């Protein structure tokens, strides 16, 4: 599985993660346990989904250690992305 990843570290509730994309992609924000499950191909929970506008923004629902992931959801292709943590909403 190919994906781009950024370890966001500790982030507060309401913080916005902004994804700058070169094409349509799937953006996911998840905690450490769910990121581990994602990497292992197990069931996981995330916030985000298919990015239909650029930049795509996802709010972190609660404080904790978070990861941001960009992938093509199994489709072929190449993706370039920037991932930025913005001020709390």
State the pLDDT at residue 2: 84
Residue 50 near residue 14, CB atoms below 8 Å: no
**pLDDT tens digits for the chain (89 residues)?**
689 999 999 999 999 999 999 988 999 999 999 999 999 999 999 999 999 889 999 999 999 999 999 999 877 788 889 999 997 65
pLDDT of residue 33: 97
DSSP 13: T
Number of domains in the chain: 1
- What pLDDT was estimated at residue 88? 63
* Nearest in space to 9 (alpha carbons), one of 25, 28, 42, 31: 31
pTM attached to this predicted model: 0.91
Domain that holds residue 38: 4-88
What was the pLDDT predicted at 1? 62
């Amino acid at each position: 599985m190919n994906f781009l990843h950024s370890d966001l570290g500790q982030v507060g509730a309401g913080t916005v993660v902004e994804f700058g994309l070169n094409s349509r992609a799937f953006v996911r924000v998840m905690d450490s346990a769910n990121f581990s499950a994602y990497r292992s191909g197990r069931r996981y929970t995330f916030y985000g989904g298919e990015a239909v506008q650029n930049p795509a923004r996802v709010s972190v629902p609660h404080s904790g250690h978070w990861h941001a992931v960009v992938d093509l959801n199994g489709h072929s292709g190449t993706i370039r992305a920037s991932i930025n943590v913005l001020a709390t909403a």
